[in-house]
Amino acid sequence: MNLKPQSILVAGGGSTFTPGIVMMLLDNLDKFPIRQIKFYDNDEERQNKIADAIEILLKERAPEIAFSASVDPAEAFTDIDFVMAHIRVGKYQMREQDEKIPLKYGVIGQETCGPGGMAYGMRSIGGVLELIDYMEEYSPDAWMLNYSNPAAIVAEATRKLRPNSKIINICDMPVGIEYRMAEILGLKSRKDFVVRYYGLNHFGWWTDIRDHDGNDLMPKIKEWVKEHGYVTPSELEQQGNEEVEASWMHTYEKAKEVSWLDPETLPNTYLKYYFYPQDEVEVSNPEYTRANEVMDHREKNVFSMCNQVVNAGTAAQTQLEIDDHASYIVDLARSIAYNTRERMLLIVENNGSLVNFDPTAMVEIPCIITSNGPEPLVMGEIPRFQKGLMEQQVAVEKLVVEAWAEGSYQKLWQAITLSRTVPNARVAKQILDDLIEANKEFWPELS
Ligand code: NAD
Ligand code: G6P
Ligand code: MN
C-alpha cells in the first residue's frame, strides 16, 4: 500500500513526553510515514530546549522530515494533518498546588481525580479549546488527538462547547494496564487479545478479555489480580521494577483491593482514589507530592538529556528513549489516515452505547476507528454499583464544565462537594476558596 506521508503538530512541544513521542514516531515510519513534524507551545524557552535537541536528532535519523518549532499559532497550525495535544496549563507549579491544597484538608491531592483534577480542569478547558480553534482556522481538515488532562473534563468541555470539532480524547492508562495483563498471561503483546470495557476516563472496568480464538482470558487475570493487583510476575519476583517508581508500584498493588469490589470485572487503577480515599491520603506526603517527584526526576532527566544533545551537537550517544507504550497514538492516527479500522478505547459521547446510562455522558468504551472518526461499540447495560458511581462522577465532571462556562462559584462548590473524595460541603468550600486564590491567573472569574 502506498501510504500518504503525514504532517504532525505536537502541541505542548515543551512537554516531558515530547522526545519519547518523536522517537516513537520515528520507530513507526514504515506504518505511518511522516513528511513534517512541528512543535507548538506557549512557553518559547521551555519548548526550545526540547526542540533544539530534536532538530539535531531528526537531522541525523530522518533528514527527509521537515522540522520547525514555533509559538506562533498561524505558523504552527498551518498545513497539519494531526495535532497531537499534550499541554499542561499552569505546568508543574500548578500541579503541585492541585495536589497540596486538598491534602491540607485531608483530601486526596491528585492530578486528575478529586478537587485537584477539577482545578486542573478549570485551567485546561480554555487551553484545549484554544488549540481546537487554531486547528480549525489554519488546518480545518486536521484531527486533534488529545491526551491533555484531565481528559474526562476536557472531553466533556469539547462535547458541550465545540460539538463539531474533530478532536479525539484518549488515555494511556488502559493501554498500560493491558501491557501488564499480557505479562500476567505470558503473552507477547496486548494485541494478542480483544477487550470489552466501559466506564469514564480514569474510572472504568474490563468486562471481557479474549484471545483471537475466542478463549476467555479473564479468569486467569482475575485470579492474579485478586492476589497481586497489576504487579507483574517478574516484578513480584524481583520485588519491584527499576523503571517503575515506587508510587506507581503502590498503585498497581492497590488494584488488588480495588478488584475485590466487583469479582465480575477488572478495574482501572484510578478507582483506588474513589474506593479508598483515606488510604491514599495516608500514604501521601503533603510536603512532597507526585508533582515534586516528577519535577525531580522525569523533568530534570528529559531536559538534561536534551541539553547534552545540544552541547554535543549530536544525538548519537543520547539516552533519550522511545516511548514505546505511546505507540497507541500511532495506531489511532494511522486508523484515521488510512482507515485501518483499529479497535481502541476512546472517550466518546455515550449516545446509547451504555444503554441504561446518560446519553450525553462522555464515556470510555471500545470504538472502531475509521477515516471518518470513531464508531463506538455497544457495551450494553451496566450494573447498579457501577451505574451509581458513574452517575455521581459524571455529574461532577459536567458541573465543572458548567462552572467554567458560566463562571459559577456555586456549581464548582457543588462539583467538589459531590466528589466521593471529599467528606463534606464545608471542607469542599475551604478547598475551593484556596484553589481560587492559587488559580487567579488561570481560571475565569467565579461569582
Ligand atoms: P509538561 O508540563 O512537561 O508539558 C506541558 C507543556 O504544555 C509545557 O511545555 C507547557 O508550556 C505547555 N502548555 C501549557 N499551556 C499551554 C497552552 N495553553 N498552549 C500551548 N502549550 C501550553 O507536562 P507533561 O507531564 O509532559 O504532560 C503533558 C500533558 O499530557 C499533561 O496534560 C498530562 O496530564 C498529559 N498526559 C496524559 C496522558 C493520558 O493518558 N491522557 C498520559 C500522560 C500524560
Ligand atoms: C497515567 C494516566 C495519565 C497521567 C499519568 C500521570 O499515564 O493515564 O492520564 O497523566 O499517568 O503520570 P505522572 O508520571 O505524570 O504522574
Ligand atoms: Mn490518563
pLDDT at 106 over 90: yes
374 and 382 Cβ atoms separated by less than 8 Å: no
For cell 488546518, name the residue.
139
* 172 catalytically annotated: yes
Residues 6+ apart with CB under 8 A from 255: 225, 229, 230, 267, 269, 272
Q: Is 127 in the pocket of ligand 1 (CB under 6 A)?
A: yes
CATH level 2 (architecture), domain 6-168+298-325: 3-Layer(aba) Sandwich (3.40)
Enter the pTM of the model.
Answer: 0.98
Kindly give the distance from the C-alpha atom of residue 326 to the centroid of ligand 3, in angstroms, as a whole number. Answer: 12
pLDDT at 239 over 90: no
164 and 104 Cβ atoms separated by less than 8 Å: no
Give the residue extent of every domain in the chain.
Answer: 6-168+298-325, 384-438
In order, the DSSP letters of 207-241 are: EEEEETT--B-HHHHHHHHHHHTT--HHHHHHTS-
- Which residues crowd ion ligand 3, with CB under 5 Å? 171, 173
Element (H, E) at 92: helix 91-104
Closest by Cα among 320, 298, 302 to 60: 320
Residue 410: per-residue pLDDT: 98
53 and 24 Cβ atoms separated by less than 8 Å: no
Instruction: Provide the strand spans (E) within 48-116.
Output: 66-70, 82-85
pLDDT at 254 over 90: yes
**Residue of 75, 86, 169, 304 with the most ligand 1 atoms within 8 Å of its CB, for mutation:** 86
**Helix axes 91-104 and 425-438, enclosed angle (nearest 10):** 150
pLDDT at 216 over 90: yes
Q: How confident is the model at residue 282 (pLDDT cuts 50, 70, 90)?
A: very high
Kindly give the distance from the C-alpha atom of residue 136 to the centroid of ligand 1, in angstroms, as a whole number. Answer: 21
| Site residues for ligand 2, CB cut-off 6 Å | 111-112, 149, 171-173, 290, 294
Catalytic residue among 172, 262, 279, 358: 172
Q: Is 325 in the pocket of ligand 1 (CB under 6 A)?
A: no
Distance CA 209, CA 14 (A): 37
Residues 6+ apart with CB under 8 A from 359: 349, 350, 351, 352
Kindly give the distance from the C-alpha atom of residue 79 to the centroid of ligand 2, in angstroms, as a whole number. Answer: 30
Per-residue pLDDT reduced to its tens digit, 172-208: 999 999 999 999 999 999 999 999 999 999 999 999 9
